Amino acid sequence: MTDEEFEMAEGGDVEVAGEKLPESVLVWRDTFVEISKKNSVPSILAYFNLLGTILKDDIVIPSGMNAEDTRIHVCWIQTARSGKSVLNDFYSQICEKTFEYINSTYDKEFNVFDIVDFTDAGLIGSNQEITNPNVNWREEGEQRKITVPVKGALEGSGIALFDEFESSGVFTNKSHRESVVTIFQKFMNTLTTNGYIYKKKLAGVDVIECDCQRSTWATTYVPEYLTETISTKGILQRMFFYIREVPQEILNEMRYAIIDEIGTTIERDKPSLKFAKGMFLLLGLVKDRREQVGGNKELVIEWGPGVRENIRSEYDNMQTYMAKVPENVRKIVGLFETNSLIYLTKLSVLCTISETPARADNEKWIVFPRNVRQAAWIVRQGYISLVSWMLQALKVERVSIAEDAGIGNYIEAYNYLKQITSDDWVLKAALRVKLEKDYELSQPKFYRDWNKVRSIFETKKIGKNVYLKLKEA
């Protein structure tokens, strides 16, 4: 993000077309940024990550023949040592307390699991040899062993928390880690079908099934090969993607804020308990509403007048923004557009739920245009951050390629020949000979590097001869 965009995202009450995000979201955000400085947008995403998780069993968002659950899968990529782990710790604490309330009241088994084992066995499950509990150890002088399938970490409901997502293998090109990508993509499929269940054949036993109904909260620093991963692997395209390389001046502000608090105490248990109770309250209201509509998950939320028009308008706004982006960036970011639209719809519903306690009884369960605008602001932070990062990353990449290809030598040789000929158009063959003579550039190397530097030249052909002219920029 640019510094200006960053400040907008971090500032004020997050007004959206004259309207604020729901008050419960802002209170949550304000507490989080006391603990993890200058991380306003990730704080907001954490709120909806948890809310979407706990409502997955009670709300279905219909769309013609299709339907979506409420889960929000977040991938937050940011500069190292800029508050990710601190935020994750506090967020995990809130999740645990929330799940305690839910599990004890509704007989659920929600949990937050920090994933550290990214093998198939760790994620999905494996065979394990155990002592047969039905056999007396004295029989035949030793304990008898049996092999049983043991479920992996992804099994169940709650949050799959990846504090070190760079270790997952998602960002590498190693073939033996491709199954990890497949697993993640599978469980991000909507819960309204069985397409999210991952099945794997284990040696010696029947197929093991992983019923993962978790939401993903994944954080990492900016890894290598990120541009390639974004453009080639569908897993990141399925997630709410937020990326920020924090400017040094903002890092300094973060650290000055930490220094200012040395010797002071911030209460963390009370806020986490308050937020957990708040989430639990919202879930209870949703469950009551579901009972009112005969248990039909698709009828829990109603769609007010003008909502579809507002969703279309916000999508058009995204298209207008993307039309101004360079084509190479637009092609990559465009891969996220379908899921951006899905998240826009999901967040509109979740913003509606977040306003429930403050609404009149006759409008509690209706999505209004303002909820779409609230959701659009959140979605916008995602794709603007990605565009901003891509522009900078590709710029750096171009510089690196240019340096590797010795682009400066090409420019120097061109300028020398231009002076001799008194013409801006220089014979390509003459340029090659000049580079070979003065820079010991072999002919094969010249043609290998040519594809890397050709974009800085205009070309024209006269007969069999090719002429070059350095572009003004």
Per-residue pLDDT tens digits for 120-130: 888 988 877 77
Mean pLDDT value across the chain? 87
Section 158-165 average pLDDT: 92
pLDDT at res. 100 = 98
Please report, for residues 325, 332, 371, 380, 456, the alpha-carbon distance to residue 383 in angstroms, rounded to integers and kept in the order given: 12, 11, 19, 5, 29
The edge-to-edge listing of strands for the beta sheet with 212-220 is 110-114, 156-162, 212-220, 74-78, 240-244
- For residue 111, give the DSSP letter: E
* Whether pTM exceeds 0.75: yes
Q: Which residues contact 338 (CB under 8 A, 6 or more apart)?
A: none
Dihedrals phi, psi of 200, to nearest 5 degrees: -145, 135
* Residue 336 predicted with pLDDT over 70: yes
| 13 band by pLDDT with thresholds 50, 70 and 90 | very low
| 411 band by pLDDT with thresholds 50, 70 and 90 | confident
Is residue 14 helix, strand or coil? coil
When mean pLDDT is compared over 50-54, 136-140, 406-410, 469-473, the highest value belongs to 50-54
* Residue 12 predicted with pLDDT over 70: no
pLDDT at res. 1 = 36
Between the two ends of the chain, the Cα-to-Cα distance in Å is: 25
More confident residue, 464 or 297: 297
CB 235 within 8 A of CB 94: no
Section 454-458 average pLDDT: 83
- What does the pLDDT look like over 269-315, one tens digit per residue? 899 999 999 999 999 999 999 999 999 999 999 999 999 999 999 99
Triad 50, 25, 162: Cα angle to 5°: 30
* Residue 176 predicted with pLDDT over 60: no
Section 236-253 average pLDDT: 93
Pairwise CA distance, residues 36 & 23, whole Å: 20
**Looking at 148-157, 168-177, 406-415, 460-469, which range is the least confident one?**
168-177
More confident residue, 396 or 454: 454
- What does the pLDDT look like over 108-121, one tens digit per residue? 999 998 888 888 88
More confident residue, 328 or 365: 365
- What does the pLDDT look like over 25-46, one tens digit per residue? 999 999 999 999 999 999 999 9
pLDDT at res. 404 = 57
Smallest Cα–Cα separation from 77: which of 172, 219, 181?
219
Q: Which domains does the chain carry?
A: 3-299 (3.40.50), 405-470 (1.10.10)
pLDDT at res. 473 = 54
